[in-house]
Amino acid sequence: MAEKPNERAARHIVSEVLGVPVTRFDDGSAPSQVDALVHYPDKTGALEVVGDHESAFNEQWAALEKVNHRVDVPGLRSVWSAQLERRAQVRRVVQELPALVLRWQDDLARRHARSKLPQELTNLGVMMLYPLEDNQHSGYVNLHAEGWGGSASSKTMSSYVERVLAQHDDVPRKLAAHPTPEKHAFIWTTIGTDYSIQFQLEDRDQPLPTEPPDLPNGVTHVWVGGSFNSQGVLAWFPDRGWWRTPWSWPTDQALVLDD
């Protein structure tokens, strides 16, 4: 069984930050194995890695992939862009958007991109709809998923950790079953993760989270990593609370993983 890239990257980060080897453990030979082991000089810790993959985002993204993230609209002047709410059904958008955008294109072209849309479009789950400055192409609308949401203060890092570990309850279950007192959960954020969490992973001299997470049985330490090169990794340890690790993505080359 091949090791997932996010598991390998998490092992690398934990090893770099703690200065100790972190080796793969889950080889598929037994059920419910933890992903990796942390090898301290005097003890061993367990590590389980999980990605915050929002099911609604993944489903919508898969549907957009099937239509190549666009819908053809014969007669539409220029190329347009539409951002869809998470609730929007891509199949319905493809069926109904062409007639609506043709009907409203003259009116919408005069509006600001974030102006209130006609009710028929908002009912379809369209958040924004506007023409692009493209004089060489016409006749289709690019479709974009909602992506990040919220504001920079709407959710706490602790509530986020609690939600992810509750949703992926196999993580604390695997860690609890492993015979070691120190158990690390590494959470990768994704493009579907709330923007308030994404922002906290940016190192812009903003204050660290202060509220400790209410961790489920089986988890003693938490890491939260960003998948964009502008983001870093926050961690919560019982003996020091929240802290910003010194690890960052390389800026001038790809991340090289040796093992």
Residue 160 shares a structural domain with residue 230: yes
Residue 227 shares a structural domain with residue 162: yes
pLDDT at position 253 over 90: no
Residue 158 shares a structural domain with residue 206: yes
Q: What is the pLDDT of residues 22-49, one digit of tens each?
A: 999 977 667 788 999 999 999 999 999 9
Q: In what order do the strands lie in the sheet with 126-131?
A: 70-72, 140-144, 79-84, 126-131
Write out the residue range of the structural domain in which residue 131 sits.
74-138
Considering only residues 33 and 183, tell me which one the structure prediction assigns the higher pLDDT: 183
Q: What is the pLDDT of residue 135?
A: 73
Residue 87 shares a structural domain with residue 32: no
Q: What is the pLDDT of residue 151?
A: 45
Residue 26 shares a structural domain with residue 133: no
CA distance 225 to 234: 7
Q: What is the pLDDT of residue 86?
A: 81
For the ranges 92-101, 192-201, 246-255, the one whose mean pLDDT is highest = 92-101
Q: How many independent structural domains does the chain possess? A: 2
User: Among 138, 159, 194, where does a domain finish?
Assistant: 138
Residue 37, in any domain of the structure: yes
Residue 20, in any domain of the structure: yes
User: Among 87, 105, 138, where does a domain finish?
Assistant: 138
Residue 133, in any domain of the structure: yes
User: Among 87, 107, 138, where does a domain finish?
Assistant: 138
Residue 15, in any domain of the structure: yes
Residue 44 shares a structural domain with residue 91: no
The answer to whether 109 and 50 have CB atoms below 8 angstroms apart is no
Q: Is 152 left (phi over 0), alpha (psi -120 to 50) or beta?
A: alpha
For residues 49-77, average pLDDT: 85
